[in-house]
Structure 1
């Protein structure tokens, strides 16, 4: 039960800390028996209920620390339990090479996976005197780490720990895959004990197929344990990649066209105060969405197993900031429309309104993006594994995008409702015919908006429900790309009545809002 596990973890930690020397085979056997008890495959789910979330990390560190004090005589040591297997031997320059091979059950079904530690002859030549090497294999520890601290990161092989002389700088590790699938991306990693996470910098992939992965790793006092990770729920397809980049390219071209048209007709369409402020919002929505798309492409090129961390952090920050800016400029435009309908518009100077718009459009997202990176990056919880985007599994940093976006959606829906209610009221002196025309225009805009958003996000929900279906992803990407592209030039059309301008602005805002959440 969780209480037993927590107590045994603490006990093993205390033993490995207090006992400085004199670990022989008998003591190692007793230590392994205790560790084996809580590493049992039937106990994996109980680790999630331990209050101390890092208990599995403490266990790994304790076992490695205890094994580091193991003294090996001239005979090799082989201590095999069901869920922890320790081998040790002496090594010297005379050896042609050393090979530690493990074959262990991963559950109660009897299925086994293998792991091998290879020390080359060239590496052994670096040892000045006969030394000892110890290796430990854990078949269930990867799943325990996954259940207790790592959540959706999938460990797809044995966890192999090695305690070697400091002169050895490079070893080869061969991992048989638990899940033998070629569709998912695999990476070699080393466990970073200080930050309680898998680190891609400790290893590199040498060879891979559907059955196994060969890694070249750099053991050190910091990096002692290694394994392979499989990225969960990754759908890779050349078609989807092409659709994504073509769609982004069309969207970028349309946004550039939108800004160009705005620049050409600026003097003609901004003669009044309300039209000037409205087009300030339109231009900034297009500009921020353009920058967001560009940084999204940069981030996609930086994503992957060999990601340069600092560059990825910078790209993620700008993607987060500019997409938030799109949302907040949409909010600013909604509030401007609401202000223009419900309040006498010229009660505030234009300079004050412009300053307020820029504060909402750029100040709020900058504050949110800066606080997010400052709060999560010191603990390396800002980024997702293998992707330049906000982390969800460790720190829930993605909420810094989702919560403001959804809040703005709610505000904009309220704005639409108020605008509809306000414009349905007959103005003084207006004829019944004018009122009917206004209602027809309102109904037409709602009729256009609803099926478009419903169709697009129907496929959006389908990609979440069945994320392995390529057709859903392609249709969703196509709808997003062409919907935004066609709508990008809509705000600059002239010859509209005030009500048409308001609703076309709302239509543009909501299309961009909903189709760019992902």
Structure 2
């Protein structure tokens, strides 16, 4: 058995393993005249990193040119040392990362919230399908419902992607679901941008309203093409520069530090959308305060405009605030009261987004409520008439 310990070499080696910091010691172990195919080795590393960090036992994968934890695990550790156990011999070290912030309470809130959101989004899309022909009577109402159906669809796909434990199925599936989540949530925010910008245009340029074909063309570019380009370019950039696009443990984008990491390919576009939506909110509110209904407007357009204002005003803080809290988690220190507040706020808001969308996009709109009541009443009346006819027929035959 031969072992070699080397100091001051770790900073010369590439490190894309999670969000870790390298230790000062690397240990190489070799075994001569090895007859058995199985081996188990324990390595005791001095713990010189802060106690708040999580240790990973890793080895240097010569084929990939990076660190890997396959076949190695932390057996136990304390404030003084970390003991690793591996089933193969190579060059070992310990990498330190920020401690996992997940708790049983947060996991339960996330699962329950996402389950509720998925059910609410399915209900919302079903209601939109049933009342579509009745509520889409003008171009403005068509724009509104097209945008909000796309928002609900991409939010539903994003929530379903988050519920899949992709990290258990291997790196390929982890990459696939990371791309899905990145794409779906970007598309959701892009359609919110289409909704708010369209409303501003309709209220300001009263005599030059958007045509349906123009709106669908521009919205398709913003809502479909732009998110695909952002996700594709960010992945190619990470691949070209040798940086990791996703974390294999969480199957989500990586944050290294401010303006460094693939997460910024999501945060920066979302920040731009939130800023634009807030500006649109101010313009819409000021315009409506000056004149409740622009000259030449129809009453149906007025009600639709009010519905869009409700959606933009209520959903922008909910959707945007969620990721503001998420970004705060990356900057705040664990253990502080602000970190706990941001952690629970992010989990609750992010998990129950589908419920908020059902309330604001369906229950809060009078026209949708009225159409649903008509459908329910018509269905109930049809059942009563069917029962009455069946009773009359039976009575006649008996007689």
Does TM-score exceed 0.5, indicating one fold?
Answer: yes
Q: Tell me the distance in 2 between the aligned counterparts of 1:428 and 1:311.
A: 52
Which residue of 1 is the match for residue 4 of structure 2?
A: 136
**Residue among 76, 93, 103 paired with 1:208:** 76
Which residue of 2 is the match for residue 391 of structure 1?
A: 254
Would the aligned equivalents of 2:73 and 2:84 in 1 still touch at CA under 8 Å? yes
**Residue among 202, 212, 215 paired with 1:340:** 202
Q: Tell me the distance in 2 between the aligned counterparts of 1:315 and 1:159.
A: 34
Unmatched runs of 5 consecutive residues or more in structure 2: 297-305, 369-399
1:275 is displaced (CA, Å) by 0.4
Q: Tell me the distance in 1 between the aligned counterparts of 2:127 and 2:315.
A: 24
- Residue by residue over 1:137-168, the C-alpha shift from the partner in whole angstroms, topping out at 9 and shown as x without a partner, is 135544x4699998951346842123556978
1:279 is displaced (CA, Å) by 0.2
Q: How does 1:41-60 map to 2 (within 5 A)?
A: none
Would the aligned equivalents of 1:281 and 1:332 in 2 still touch at CA under 8 Å? yes
1:413 aligns with 2:270: no
* Bigger mean CA offset, 175-184 vs 254-263: 175-184
Would the aligned equivalents of 1:157 and 1:176 in 2 still touch at CA under 8 Å? no
| Structure-2 change in CA distance of 1:458 and 1:404 (3 Å) | closer
1:302 aligns with 2:154: no
Q: Tell me the distance in 2 between the aligned counterparts of 1:187 and 1:145.
A: 19
Higher RCO structure (Cα 8 Å, ≥6 apart): 2
Would the aligned equivalents of 2:281 and 2:309 in 1 still touch at CA under 8 Å? no
1:250 aligns with 2:119: no
- Residue by residue over 1:95-154, the C-alpha shift from the partner in whole angstroms, topping out at 9 and shown as x without a partner, is xxx4xxxxxxxxxxxxxxxxxxxxxxxxxxxxxxxxxx4x22135544x46999989513
1:182 is displaced (CA, Å) by 8.9
Q: Which secondary structure does the structure 2 equivalent of 1:489 belong to?
A: helix
1:485 is displaced (CA, Å) by 1.7
1:327 aligns with 2:189: yes
**Residue among 253, 269, 273 paired with 2:135:** 269
Which residue of 1 is the match for residue 267 of structure 2?
A: 402
| Structure-2 change in CA distance of 1:230 and 1:453 (3 Å) | same
Which residue of 1 is the match for residue 244 of structure 2?
A: 381
Q: TM-score, normalised by structure 2?
A: 0.72
**Residue among 220, 225, 228 paired with 1:363:** 225
Q: Tell me the distance in 1 between the aligned counterparts of 2:87 and 2:276.
A: 52
Would the aligned equivalents of 1:292 and 1:322 in 2 still touch at CA under 8 Å? yes
Q: Which secondary structure does the structure 2 equivalent of 1:218 belong to?
A: coil
Would the aligned equivalents of 1:288 and 1:323 in 2 still touch at CA under 8 Å? yes
1:315 is displaced (CA, Å) by 1.0
Q: Which secondary structure does the structure 2 equivalent of 1:414 belong to?
A: helix
Q: Which secondary structure does the structure 2 equivalent of 1:278 belong to?
A: helix
Which residue of 1 is the match for residue 99 of structure 2?
A: 233
- Residue by residue over 1:17-38, the C-alpha shift from the partner in whole angstroms, topping out at 9 and shown as x without a partner, is xxxxxxxxxxxxxxxxxxxxxx
Q: Tell me the distance in 1 between the aligned counterparts of 2:47 and 2:21.
A: 10
Would the aligned equivalents of 2:74 and 2:84 in 1 still touch at CA under 8 Å? yes
Q: Which secondary structure does the structure 2 equivalent of 1:188 belong to?
A: strand
Give the aligned length: 346
| Structure-2 change in CA distance of 1:294 and 1:189 (3 Å) | same
1:159 aligns with 2:26: yes
- Residue by residue over 1:182-225, the C-alpha shift from the partner in whole angstroms, topping out at 9 and shown as x without a partner, is 98654321224575531233x32273344533322534xxxx42
1:421 is displaced (CA, Å) by 2.4
Would the aligned equivalents of 1:175 and 1:227 in 2 still touch at CA under 8 Å? no
Alignment RMSD (CA, Å): 4.1
- Residue by residue over 1:396-432, the C-alpha shift from the partner in whole angstroms, topping out at 9 and shown as x without a partner, is 22221111111112211221122122222236789xx
Q: Tell me the distance in 1 between the aligned counterparts of 2:13 and 2:196.
A: 44
Q: Tell me the distance in 1 between the aligned counterparts of 2:158 and 2:312.
A: 28
Q: Which secondary structure does the structure 2 equivalent of 1:231 belong to?
A: strand
| Structure-2 change in CA distance of 1:359 and 1:235 (3 Å) | same
Q: Which secondary structure does the structure 1 equivalent of 2:99 belong to?
A: coil
1:245 is displaced (CA, Å) by 1.5
Q: Tell me the distance in 2 between the aligned counterparts of 1:240 and 1:381.
A: 27
Q: Which secondary structure does the structure 1 equivalent of 2:27 belong to?
A: strand
Which residue of 1 is the match for residue 347 of structure 2?
A: 477
Which residue of 1 is the match for residue 59 of structure 2?
A: 190
1:375 is displaced (CA, Å) by 2.6
1:316 aligns with 2:187: no
Q: TM-score, normalised by structure 1?
A: 0.57
Unmatched runs of 5 consecutive residues or more in structure 1: 1-97, 99-132, 431-439, 498-518
Would the aligned equivalents of 1:324 and 1:365 in 2 still touch at CA under 8 Å? yes
Q: Which secondary structure does the structure 1 equivalent of 2:251 belong to?
A: strand
Would the aligned equivalents of 1:154 and 1:231 in 2 still touch at CA under 8 Å? yes
1:244 is displaced (CA, Å) by 1.5
